[in-house]
Amino acid sequence: MGAELFGRIARKKGFVRESQLANALRFQEELFALGFEKRLGDILVEDGVLSREQLDQVLRLQQINEQGLWSKRFAKIAVKNGLATQEQVDAALETAREGGFQVGIGAVLVDRGFLAPVAVRAIRQAMERIDRSNEAASTVSTPTTGAPGTAKLGVEIEVEPEDLDSALLVRRTRDVLFAAVALRDGLVLVPELERALREQARLHPEEPPLEDVLRDRGILSRRELDLVGQALDSAQREKLAIPGYTVEGVLGHGATSIVLRARHELIDRPVAIKLFREEHAATKDVNALVEEARTIARIRHPNVVGLFDVGRLHRRIYYVMELVDGRTLLDLIREKGGLPEREALGIARGICCALEAIHAAGLVHRDVKPLNVLIAKGGIVKLTDLGLAREVGGKDETPDAVYGSPYTISPEQVHGEPVDIRADLYGLGATLFQALTGEPPFDGTNALAVMMRHVTDPVPDPRKQKPGLHEGTAQLVQKLMAKSKDERPSLPAHVIEAIDKLLC
C-alpha cells in the first residue's frame, strides 16, 4: 500500500513518469529478493528523478492520505456499531481534514463528547487485528463501561467487509504459495489441487484456508501439511544468493542489470557483480551473453574495469568484475557543476587510454558517457560497462535498433550506421564538454529530441558556458564532436597527444 500510494501521488503531481516509476519499483523488488530494503522515494531521488524537496512533499501528502483512509475506516466502524452518528463522524472528518489530520478523528470525537476514550481504543484494536489477521473476519471485545456517548461495548465490534480486503489478500496469497510448494515437493497432484480449490470456492464467503480443505478431503496428512508449511516459511526467508560470493550491498542499476558489491568467500577479494535482469537474458541468447563476456575479457588495461568470471543463476547471467572503490564522473559533475579544466582533461586522457586498449582489441565501446567513467582512489580513471561493445563491423541482434545514450551518442549511431573508434571519440568529446561545463552539449524534452540535435545542431562551443576555458581545449572538444566522423581524430593516440600538449 505504501509504495503504491507514494507512486500514485508522485504521478498525479507530475513528478515522475510511468516508466520511471516502473523502473524504480522493479529495482525495489530486486533489492527485496537480495535481502535489502529501500524506500521507493529514496530510489527515485538516487536516480535523479525526484528532488529532495519533491520527495518531502510526496511523503507529506502520502501521510495525509494514509491518515485520511484510516480515519474513514474508523468512521465507518463507529457508525456501523452505533458508537456515533453519520453526522457526527462527517463533522469530525472535516475537522481532522482541515488540520491536515494532525489530530485524528478519534480525538476529535472524544473532544466533542461524541465518543469515549474506551470506544476509541476498541475501534483501534479491531482495526489493528484485522490488519494483522489472515482470517476473513475478526472481532474485538472490550469490557462494558458506563462512559457517556458510547454504545454498549460488551458486544463485538463489527467491521465492514471492505476492511477485510487486505487480510483476505494475505490469506489468498498464502494459499497460492502453499499450493506451489506442495506441487513442487510432489505431495499433491494437479487434479487433486484443482478439486480442493473448487471445494474452497463453494464454501464462499467463509472460504477456509486451502490447507484446511486439503486436510478435510484427506489429500494431505497433518504431518505433510506441517512439512509444506515449514518449507513455505523457509522459502519466504530465502534471498537471491550467488554461489561463492557474499553480497554486501548495491552499487547501482540500469535498464539491463543491477550491480552489486560482493566478496569472494574463499580468497576474500572484493568484487562487483553485474547481475542481468531476467527479461534482458530472455531477449538474448545465453551464448551471446557469454560471448560478450569473452569480448570484454580480451581487454587487459589499468584504465578498463576487468572481468573475472561469468556465471548463471536461475534464469539470469552475471559477470564478476573488478570492484572500483570510487565515484562516477557523473557524480563529480553533479557535485561540482563542472570540473577545473586540468582535472577534466586528465580524466579525458584516462578515458583515451582505455579507448586505445579497446581499439587495439578490435572493439568499439559505443557508450562512452560520464556514468560509465569511474574515478578510483588516487585519481585513476576506469572505463566500465562494455555491455554495448562490439567488434568493429560486427552485427547486432536487432539491426534497426539505435545503440548508445542520448547525451553522448554520435550522429552515425543515431542513423544506425556502422561505427568505429571515432564514434567513441565523439562520446569522449560530449563527455569532456559535460565535465568542463556541468551540462551536456545538447538537451531536450525527450531522448529522441536530444539524439536528433547531435545530428542537426551546430557543434557547441564550451566557452559560451565556461568563458575562461583555454582556446585549445575548446577546439579539441569541437573537433571530437565533429558531425562527420572523417573530421574527427582517427585514433585515441592523437587525442592523448593533444591533451598532453594542453597539460604542459
Catalytic site positions: 367
Residue 281 sits in the same domain as residue 355: no
The SS3 call for residue 144 is coil
DSSP string, 76-136: HHHHHTTSS-HHHHHHHHHHHHHTTTSS-HHHHHHHTTSS-HHHHHHHHHHHHHHHH--SS
The sign of the dihedral angle between the CA atoms of 395, 396, 401, 407 is negative
pLDDT of residue 166: 56
Counting the structural domains of the chain, the total is 4
**Quick check: 346 and 404 in contact, CB under 8 A?**
no
Residue 17 sits in the same domain as residue 93: yes
Cα torsion through 362, 383, 479, 400, rounded to 10: 60
Coarse DSSP helix, strand, coil percentages of the chain, rounded to the nearest 5 percent? 55, 10, 35
The residue among 130, 107, 139 whose CA lies nearest residue 120 is: 107
Q: Which residue range forms the structural domain that includes residue 43?
A: 2-162
Q: Where are the beta strands (DSSP E) in 392-444?
A: none
Neighbours of 105 (CB within 10 A): 28
Q: Which residue has the cell 523488488?
A: 29
State which of 273, 294, 322 marks the end of a domain: 322
Residue 96 sits in the same domain as residue 204: no
Residue 290 sits in the same domain as residue 420: no
What DSSP character marks residue 472? H
**Residue 123 neighbours by CB under 8 Å, 6+ apart:** 74, 77, 78, 81, 83, 106, 157
Residue 443 sits in the same domain as residue 482: yes
Looking at residue 266, its amino acid is: L
Predicted TM-score of the model (pTM):
0.65
**Quick check: 497 and 349 in contact, CB under 8 A?**
no
Residue 302 sits in the same domain as residue 445: no
What DSSP character marks residue 269? -
State which of 269, 291, 322 marks the end of a domain: 322
What DSSP character marks residue 453? H
Q: Which residues of 286-313 are buried (b: 16+ CB within 10 A; e: fewer)?
A: eeebeebbebbeebebebbbbbeebbee
pLDDT of residue 419: 87
State which of 292, 322, 352 marks the end of a domain: 322
Residue 148 sits in the same domain as residue 182: no
Give me the tens of pLDDT residue by residue for the chain, a chain 504 residues long: 567 888 888 888 888 888 888 888 888 888 888 888 888 888 888 888 888 999 998 888 888 888 888 888 888 888 888 888 999 888 988 888 888 787 888 888 888 888 888 888 888 887 777 666 534 333 333 333 333 333 344 445 665 544 445 556 777 888 888 888 889 888 898 988 888 888 888 876 667 888 888 888 889 899 999 998 888 888 777 777 888 999 998 888 877 788 899 999 999 999 999 888 776 555 555 666 677 777 777 788 899 988 888 888 877 888 898 888 888 999 999 988 889 999 999 999 999 999 999 998 888 888 899 998 999 888 899 998 776 666 665 555 554 455 678 899 999 988 888 888 999 999 999 999 999 999 999 998 888 899 999 999 999 999 999 998 999 999 999 999 999 999 999 999 999 999 999 998
pLDDT of residue 143: 34
Measured distance CA(476)–CA(482) in Å, rounded: 10
Residue 137 sits in the same domain as residue 50: yes
Residue 351 sits in the same domain as residue 483: yes
Residue 229 sits in the same domain as residue 251: no
Residue 119 sits in the same domain as residue 196: no
Residue 477 belongs to domain with CATH number? 1.10.510.10
Residues paired with residue 272 on neighbouring β-strands, in sequence order: 261, 321
The gap from C-alpha 32 to its chain's centroid, in whole angstroms, comes to 10
Residue 33 sits in the same domain as residue 182: no
